[in-house]
Amino acid sequence: MHPAEPLPDGTSNRSQSLRKAVRILRQFTHSAPEKSLVELVQQTGLPRTVCYRMLCTLEEEGFVERNSESGRYRLGLDLFSLGSTAITNTGVHMVSVPAMRALSQELNDTALLVVEHKLQALCIEKVDGDFPVVANVMTVGSTLPLYCGGAPFALLAHMSGKQQEQVLCTPMIARTSHTIVDPDKIRARLATVRAKGYAIGDEDVAEYVVAVGVPIFGRAQRLIGAISVGGLKQRYDDEHLAKVISLSRNTANEISMRLGAE
């Protein structure tokens, strides 16, 4: 059968419907969690009737919810449940969480597990210590640029040169006055981070917040993710920073070994 021909059972049509539904779901982001029908029509390019029909189906399945007062849509909890299942069943998550809890308990700081996803740093786990970061820098499911922060920069430093240049060629926005957005300065810092084996984010994501990021590797030294330990800058004197670096590196090495790194 010619590939362009629709399958007799209507599979091709169902596939197109699925793509349209996914296109709608992708419009909801952390920065814009709610959307109106008009906004979704404009952003997806779908006809209004098609978009509305898709939203009705997604709402019936629990993948989106509609605010009865405003009429705006947001992602539903059933979709969150699916995402949580995907995260908790990844090998790096299962191996890392117990070690992160021990690390957070010993340091009393916030520990994050971050992976690269579509050239961004995606947080897939967060463990708060007795001194949680006041500013919600990262929450589970949120993303950060790879050019700032402890764990994100640790990821960037160990990615391929091609991927690094893809990140550096995109418009980079300074989140604080300490964020470095000059590509040449970032390239120089990447080499330093690779040599040291860890990255320090010093108020470059949020004011008064410091974080140490260390990469995690798997078999054949494949980059898997990174852990981060951070807290308020007032707690991060030289002694505490040195302790965080040492324990974070030990924890990352332990996780890497369990994931098959040599």
Q: Please indicate, yes or no, if residue 126 is contained in any of the structural domains.
A: yes
Please indicate, yes or no, whether residues 49 and 151 belong to a single structural domain of this protein: no
Last residue of a domain, one of 81, 100, 125: 81
The pLDDT score that the predictor gives to residue 5 is 45
> Which tens digits make up the pLDDT trace of 143-184?
999 999 999 999 999 999 999 999 999 999 999 999 999 999
Same domain, 166 and 52: no
79-102 pLDDT, tens digit per residue, is: 776 766 665 556 788 899 999 999
- The CATH number given to whatever domain includes residue 111 is 3.30.450.40
The vertex-90 CA angle with 248 and 22, nearest 5°, equals 120
Residue where a domain stops, chosen among 59, 81, 103: 81
Mean pLDDT of the chain: 89
Structurally, how many domains does the chain consist of?
Answer: 2
Report, as an integer, the average pLDDT of 48-53: 93
Strand order in the sheet with 110-117: 143-144, 120-127, 110-117, 223-232, 209-217, 199-202
Same domain, 74 and 167: no
- What is the extent of the structural domain holding 170? 90-258
Residue 222 in tokens: 């494949």
Task: Report if pTM > 0.85.
Answer: no
Q: Has residue 23 been placed in a domain? A: yes
**Is the predicted pLDDT of residue 1 greater than 50, yes or no?**
no
Cβ atoms < 10 Å from Cβ of 232: 17
Taking only the tens place, the pLDDT of each residue in 219-232 is: 889 999 999 999 99
Domain identity same for 137 and 157? yes
- Supply the pLDDT for residue 110: 92
